[in-house]
Amino acid sequence: MIFLIVILHIFGSLINYFNDNLINTNNSDLLMSDLFKPGQERGYFEHLQYIFLIWSSFLSAYIIFQNKLYLSISVPLTYLFLFFDDFYYLHDGVLSNYILKIFEQLKPFNFGSYEQISEITYWLIVGVVFLLFSIPPFLINSSKNKKFIFDNCKFFLLMSFFGIFVDFFRSFLVINSELILKDFFAKLFYFVEEVGELTSIAIACIWLYYLANKIYLKKNDLKRFF
């Protein structure tokens, strides 16, 4: 897993060398202290998310191939997609270039921010694609595959709660609230969103590591240290 992170950093360095527009930040005046802020682009929180997501993809793939749960391939693919989505800011590009423009032209709603509605629409599309890839285990009634997918869905839902709904509520509060402490609550919910999302990914990674470790110990007939 450490070797995997080394490869990830080499990969990022090569991308930055050949095309620095892909992974640079939007702020040329970035201070070192800003990297500790939870929502800072390419900051330490975001960097940890990259590591946990790529580990989760690798660990879930290991579990699938060791237990022959091939119908659960949507799980590691989803973790991998979330990594690339964060790394390349795919959702920002899709939102600004396609979904947001459609909502601004059609104006189907008279409430809320079209940016937030567009983001929810984007993640709903991602969720539908995940569900479509997850249908086969339910069609053939594969209990092990269904359980593995369902357990990972809990983490995906927890991530989406912080990443989408808490973010939506924070933006709604900023736009519509007339509270004196509006800025305080906006920053508070922003902190809850970022820390909650990172914690959700970390818990998923720890759980997958626990399962993968059990498989490895059993396969190699080793005893646990605790």
Q: What confidence tens digit (pLDDT) does each residue in 16-55 have?
A: 666 655 555 555 566 666 666 766 676 778 888 889 999 9
Q: What is the DSSP letter of 70?
A: G
Q: What are the b/e assignments for 23-56, b being 16+ CB within 10 Å?
A: eeeeeeeeeeeebebbebebbebbeebbbbbbbb
Instruction: List pLDDT tens digits, range 169-199.
Output: 777 766 666 666 667 777 788 888 888 999 9
Closest CA to 72 of 123, 126, 140, 8: 140
Band of the pLDDT at 226, cuts 50, 70, 90?
Answer: very low
Angle (CA) 135 54 13, round 5°: 140
Tokens of 25: 């930040």
More confident residue, 35 or 69: 69
28 three-class SS? coil
Mean pLDDT computed over 189-215: 91
Whole-number mean pLDDT of the chain? 80
| Rounded CA separation 77/87 (Å) | 15
CB under 8 Å to 51, separation ≥6 — which residues? Answer: 5, 8
